[in-house]
Chains A and B, each alone.
Chain A
Amino acid sequence: MRPLDPRLLRHARAARGYVALTAALGVLTAALVVAQALLLARALGAAVSDGATLEVLAPTIVWLAVVVAVRTLVTATQERFAHRAATRTIAELREQVVAHAVALGPRWLASGEGPSVVTLATRGLDALEPYFVRYLPQLVLAATVTPGVLLVVLGLDWISAGILVVVIPLVPIFMVLVGRLTQGRSEQGLVAMQRLGTQVLDLLAGLPTLRAHGRERGPGARVRTLGDAHRQATMGTLRIAFLSGMVLELLTTLSVALVAVGIGLRLVEGHLDLVTGIAVLVLAPEVFLPLRQVGVQFHAAADGVAAAGRAFEVLETPLPPNGTRTAPDLRTATLRLDGVAVRTSGGCTPHGLDLVLPPGTVVALTGPSGVGKTTALEVVLGLLRPDDGRASIDGVDLAEIDLPSVWTQVSWLPQRPVLEPGTIAELVGGDEASRAAAAALTGLDAVLATLPDGWATSLGRGGAGLSLGQRQRVALTCTLLAATPLVVLDEPTAHLDAAGEQVVLDTVRALRHAGRTVLLVAHRPSLVAVADDVVHVRSTAAVLA
């Protein structure tokens, strides 16, 4: 694990100012630690060896109080800004990751690393908080207090400094060792934990199904077995991780003990005065304290750094270059696919797809499930680049076109309609008369009749409050009222019965009547029948014929 990934500073603005502040406070802390030790040694030394009274010590004690007060302030300031910086940095990274993942498109999100982005964006990045609040400040102190105090000890008593200097290089060596041993293992541990998590969740999510089959009792033992396996794996990791931590602690504590014994013996022989002895004794642990804290916070921070690393991986996944040319007007332009193929695990779905979409026509894509019909739609919409072949509008390759200029001309109704939150009227748009006419056609009027608030019914995110079939009707009405030249419908009759199917047929006819181009995926012959042209999609993958 890199202590401070420069990419963090590059990607998160909030992190930069905070690192600077922490560094400044770190230097100040080093000075205060030294001042406190020297003042304390002076006061205590005088009291122990010379029997000094409070009156004599008063100035020293006052200065000591001042140092204590300033250290209090520094600590508070650090804490005050650490939380803020952490939250803002997490927010900045989250936005960038989500925006980048969205730009990478639905296909990327559904494959490989894609699904884990959800966890990363919603929860994973939160692990950066302990990194910022606890780890980073200690890391800075290790870079300021440790060398600063060591120099002072060197000035006071070179023999003690010698002991510390011998031990200090061992600390980073063991830190690296801790890092080496734990990084691989903590990544493994994370994977094992996620696997356990999904397996247990899988059992719980399937519990209704298990109950339906009367088989819910057995897996209880499995949950326990999974848990025990996880505990044993984790303890194996911890035994090693903690072992390195112990050696680190032994080295530092033992060297402080050696310094104390050394000072004691030289005091007896009169080679050292008590004030110096006390100062060195107080300072010696301070040399190691930040290093030890870095070790303590290491695990919490490692998760944060791992999460940030995954975020950077997402951010560094190159986006397909966006075209710059404005899309031709789809009212007059013809979209076409020539020999398009998209490679998937099983082969090419679709394979060798030719499709011409002249303005004002209805074209149906047919073929067995799994052949790549939806994929073909994604290619048409520019969400997916074909691995082979070409998608173009009036001869201009889709890759060269600024996609948003295409999308403003398209209404897309995916298999599962995505509705904005808001009232149905807001969602559907249009004026009252056109709304009513469209609703009559799509059967939305019947749905509205069952809703007490009618058009003013508020829908939650994703259309919560309506059944899938009802959402489909809302989405169809939207499509009808949108003024886009191209309409893309993906299996619009799924989730609908025969009466619902009729509604879709009527809608498609109305769309054609309005001179709009329709591309639809159809299973049912009725839908195929309304199309001007039917394209049969083929694949080279083993699918159901």
Chain B
Amino acid sequence: MTEAENTTGVEKARESSRPKWGQMIAWVVLLLLLAIVALGLKRTQEGPVSVGKKPPAFELTTYQGEIISSADLKGKVVVLNFWASWCVPCEQEADELEAAWQTYKDRDDVIFLGVAWSDMDTKAREYLDKFGITYPNAPDLGTRTSQAFRIRGVPETYIIGKDGLLAHVQIGPFSSVSQITALIDPLLDQ
């Protein structure tokens, strides 16, 4: 074996022992992408926020311009109702929600809050006028609140207890005022 062949062999050995940065970077990038995809899939597969857990924080600006933050609602029973003017099932429960609100509106420890999801302001205001809804309502700007609560449609209602934990999730419309009050009343004694 000649000296030249020996030198080539040594160079090859050196090359093979060198870290292959290109491959390493490619693997790292691939793993990062997979992690992002996995996180996205995990998030989409999750259902609505669980009862007994702390619900997500939110901040809404009502159609009257009032800013309502979840931080300001501590110690109150919060009835957070997601609705839309184009949603027929929402109309079924609109009167019931307003009637229930009328029974609690003089109390300081209960608040009803409507969130218009994917709705146009003009249509939403027409809807509120049509059903004579008096409790605060706000558009879901950027769909941030609905995404935080991972809602899957409207109507959906989240009842939060005085302890700040989610007490009930109502998927679909309420059928009566008594159904709503039966869910709220036990939370008033907390």
Q: Please say whether chains A and B are actual partners in one complex.
A: no
